[in-house]
Structure 1
Amino acid sequence: MTTKTFLKAGLIGALFSAVAAHSALAFPANMTTDGPTNPPVGHYEFCRSLPQECGSNPGSAAPGVLTREGWKKILEVNYEINQAVTPMTDKEIYGVEEHWAYPDKVGDCEDYVLLKRKRLIETGFSPADLLITVVLQPNGDGHAVLTVRTDRGDFVLDNMRNKVLLWSETEYTYLKRQSEQNSGRWVKLQDGRTVAVGSVSQ
């Protein structure tokens, strides 16, 4: 399936369905943060090797305005990278447990997120609105997704699905994410739906 065919499947209209559903949700459209926390080890090492990607983000107070064109770019990037990269563990690729890097043809969840973030920045999104986020899957395993902050809510780009959902529509427990003020710093998240216990060092 090409990107064009994928987008014609009615997914651009999903934005308006999601917005219409906001009034029925018991959760805020945007996540609630709860103070600073330690970055994942992999991201700390990534920032040491590429410090230019982990600095302060000007103009980060309010989420960006989500336009129809912006939504189209989000869907395109999520789909294209999900199709282009084959999932493999860091152990299989690098022979180590944890290594964050831009993927070529293979990568794990963090690598998908790094590349999606980079591509969306290149299309004009603010780094302050593209936040690497650590979650727990229902089975308790750690996972990483990309959160896109917008004035219509926090949307999640995930290598496990092509559909882009509001954070509160996913099955994950949200633990922590990059700070919108500084891409090298991290903040805790208040999930609101469940009690998140502990943290993971993805």
Structure 2
Amino acid sequence: MTLGATAMPPQAYVAFCERQPLDCGSDAGQVIAAAARADADRAALSALMSPHQLAAAAVSAPAAISEPDPHLTKASWAWPTELLAPAAEPLEAVVRRADIVTSVAFVDPATEAHAAQEAGPPAMTPELWSKLNRINDRVNRAILERTDLDTYGTTDYWTTPLEDGQRYGDCEDFVLEKQRALIAAGVPRRALNIALVTTSRGEGHAVLLVSTRAGDFVLDNMSAWVTPWRQAPYRWRQRQVNGDAFAWAMIEDPTRAPAPAAAEPAMAKPKDLLIASLR
């Protein structure tokens, strides 16, 4: 998955992190401070946007879908044996062009290599595969889908309904509960990334991406099956990076063909010039 420019985290997600900071990071103080910075950045950006741009941004939030997308199917629950072999390509989840500022410190090369290995994505093992499918199915069954407007009286409210003792939620609530359950089950937070997509119906939707050494896999309330991200029938818009609540990046559409290069004028051969001059 190729990432592009930095993106703003969804406003309703920032509000969720302000209410429940430990669901967005291990240090509540750091999360609250980062949420305040995200709010300030959004306010500064909004001041530069036209009314048309503000209206477009307001309707880009995920929307609850009342019935499953017919394109979401899977042949079987079988463990994909091809994932047992090492990935043939470099890790797709690496950020290639995301404009994200990181701190730099000089460390011993051996320590740096060990830290990089420890911080890398988990291997896709039969144990992890089983865990992803089990939690995806469990959360999908535990929550009854209902819009935020019907449940909370507002169009976009992110929360963890099971943690709050609620039975209802929409797509982003499924995502937050799966993220919380997987962290509790031992999956590192850095491997769990919320992603915003557009469905085949043109509706906004949210899914959970699990980044592994075999690639990114999708946990979705619209499907009982955990699938590689390329097989999900969505147009990918933006996602978290390395599990950081406030580090988001745009996703480059893999189906979009690159712009054709401008054709250079062909150089005429001397023989052609001679024939043309005789006509």
TM interval, shorter chain, is 0.7 to 0.9
Superposed CA RMSD: 2.0
- Unaligned segments of structure 2, at least 5 residues: 28-114, 258-279
In the superposition, the TM-score normalised over structure 2's length comes to 0.56
Q: Deviations over 1:122-148 (max 9, x none)?
A: 010011111111000012110000000
**1:88 aligns to what?**
146
User: 13, 18, 41: which one pairs with 2:11?
Assistant: 41
CA 124–194 in structure 1, closer or farther in 2 if over 3 Å, else same: same
Alignment partner, residue 177 of structure 2: 115
**Equivalent residue, structure 2, for 1:101:** 159
Bigger radius of gyration, 1 or 2?
2
Q: Which amino acid aligns with 1:161?
A: S
The one of the two structures with greater contact order (alpha-carbon pairs below 8 A, sep at least 6) is: 1
Distance in 1 of aligned mates of 2:138 and 2:150: 23
| Residue 184 (1) aligns with residue 242 (2) | no
- Counterpart of 1:139? 201
**Cα distance in structure 1, aligned partners of 2:4 and 2:242:** 13
1:91-136 deviation line (CA, Å, top 9, x unaligned): 0100000100001311000000000000000010011111111000
Q: How does 1:123-162 map to 2 (within 5 A)?
A: 123-162=185-224
SS in 2 for 1:162: coil
Q: Displacement of 1:76 after TM fit?
A: 0.2
Runs (4+) of structure 1 moved beyond 6 Å?
Answer: 56-60
Alpha-carbon separation, structure 2, partners of 1:49 and 1:121: 19
2:130 equivalent to 1:72:
yes
Percent identical across equivalent pairs? 38
Count, aligned residues? 165
Q: Deviations over 1:43-101 (max 9, x none)?
A: 11111212233348997853211111111000000001111110000001000001000
Q: Distance in 1 between matches of 2:121 and 2:245?
A: 15
CA distance in 1, matches of 2:143, 2:241: 27
- Once the two structures are TM-superposed, the CA of residue 191 in structure 1 deviates from its matched residue by 2.4
Query: Would you say the 8 A contact 1:55–1:184 is kept in 2?
Result: no
| Distance of 1:86 and 1:52 partners within structure 2 | 25
Aligned equivalents of 2:243, 2:134: Cα separation in 1: 26
SS in structure 1 at match of 2:9: coil
In 1, the alpha carbon distance for the partners of 2:25 and 2:7 equals 16
| Cα distance in 2 between the residues matched to 1:47 and 1:183 | 8
3-state SS of paired residue (2:244): coil
Q: Partners of 2:252 and 2:205 in 1: how far apart? A: 17
Q: SS where residue 161 of structure 1 aligns?
A: coil
Query: What is the alpha-carbon distance in structure 1 between the residues aligned to residue 256 and residue 167 of structure 2?
Result: 36
Q: Could you tell which deviates more after superposition, 47-56 or 71-80?
A: 47-56
SS in 2 for 1:163: coil
Does the Cα contact within 8 Å between 1:102 and 1:115 map onto a contact in 2? yes
- Any conservation in 2 of the 1:135–1:176 contact (CA below 8 Å)? yes
Instruction: Report the CA distance shift for 1:41/1:88 in structure 2 as closer, same or farther (over 3 A).
Output: same
Report if the CA contact (8 A) 1:82-1:112 is conserved: yes
